[in-house]
């Protein structure tokens, strides 16, 4: 973000690079336009954070944060997602929503991480890297304060639906394939800093969304838990306008989405 601000202030790539101890060429690469993806970077959101057009890309940003990461040290910047078997087709929708090209992507199965999707589109990978989504989802540290308030419900919905290990969408598959609207627990993993910021944003949106951040045994990892009425409150918040959502969310959309017009 600071690099973008310094460019706007009139500094050259070499001057910016000297400030951050990187080359001017690296700065130019970082600042280049990414025309093939619709996913905005934090700086782009700061310049234009209005409009319903953000609903879909920020839903996918939440989904990616929950289920994947970019391998940013390789030139192609591949995005790798770990998925429930019923969300494999949902990835095709993501590709259509976030990319203006026909990218190379494939599905595979990992003995450790289960079903995965590899999306090899550099512009998308770099845009995700701008958000810092480069570590294990259990240690996610996305800067949630850059997400506009109007778009936050869409991000949270994606974050909930992208889970493969935690309820309501992750965990025991026979129970959570299509979560019930009577769900009593919603869990979001990530770094303590990210989850505390998200908890604060959600409490500001509604006091009823009263989550608790708890540490785990893994370094840099925590859980944001919503139980009982708080779980229903966060689902009501996330599904009040479900512009994009997983097909597995049918029961939640019916329970918490907008009432059908007469």
- pLDDT tens for residues 46-96? 877 666 789 999 999 999 999 999 987 777 789 999 998 889 889 999 999
Predicted local confidence at residue 102, as pLDDT: 82
Kindly list the strands in the beta sheet with 79-83, ordered across the sheet, starting from the edge strand earlier in the chain: 68-70, 79-83, 114-120, 104-110
pLDDT band at 44 (very low <50, low <70, confident <90, very high): confident
Q: From residue 41, give the alpha-carbon distance in Å to each of 115, 142, 200.
A: 28, 12, 22
The pLDDT of residue 27 is 87
Residue 129: cis peptide before it, omega within 30 degrees of 0:
no
Of all helices (H) and strands (E), which one includes residue 156?
A: helix 152-161
């Amino acid at each position: 973000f600071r690099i973008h601000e310094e460019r706007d202030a009139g500094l050259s790539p070499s001057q910016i690079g000297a400030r951050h101890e990187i080359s001017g060429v690296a700065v130019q690469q970082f600042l280049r336009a990414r025309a093939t993806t619709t996913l905005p970077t934090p700086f782009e959101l700061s310049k234009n954070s209005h409009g319903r057009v953000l609903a879909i890309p920020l839903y996918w940003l939440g989904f990616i944060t929950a289920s994947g990461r970019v391998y940013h040290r390789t030139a192609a910047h591949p995005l790798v997602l770990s998925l429930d078997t019923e969300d494999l087709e949902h990835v095709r929708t993501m590709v259509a929503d976030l990319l203006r090209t026909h990218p190379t992507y494939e599905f595979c199965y990992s003995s450790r991480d289960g079903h995965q999707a590899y999306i090899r589109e550099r512009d998308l990978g770099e845009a995700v890297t701008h958000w810092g989504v480069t570590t294990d989802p259990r240690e996610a540290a996305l800067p949630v304060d850059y997400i506009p308030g109007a778009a936050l419900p869409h991000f949270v919905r994606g974050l909930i639906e992208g889970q493969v290990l935690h309820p309501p969408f992750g965990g025991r598959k026979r129970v959570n394939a299509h979560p019930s609207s009577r769900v009593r627990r919603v869990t979001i993993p990530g770094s303590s800093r990210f989850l505390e910021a998200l908890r604060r944003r959600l409490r500001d949106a509604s006091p009823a969304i009263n989550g608790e951040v708890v540490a785990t045994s893994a370094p840099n990892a925590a859980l944001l838990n919503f139980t009982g009425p708080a779980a229903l409150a966060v689902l009501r918040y996330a599904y009040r306008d479900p512009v994009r959502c997983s097909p597995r969310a049918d029961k939640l959309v019916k329970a918490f989405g907008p009432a059908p017009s007469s």
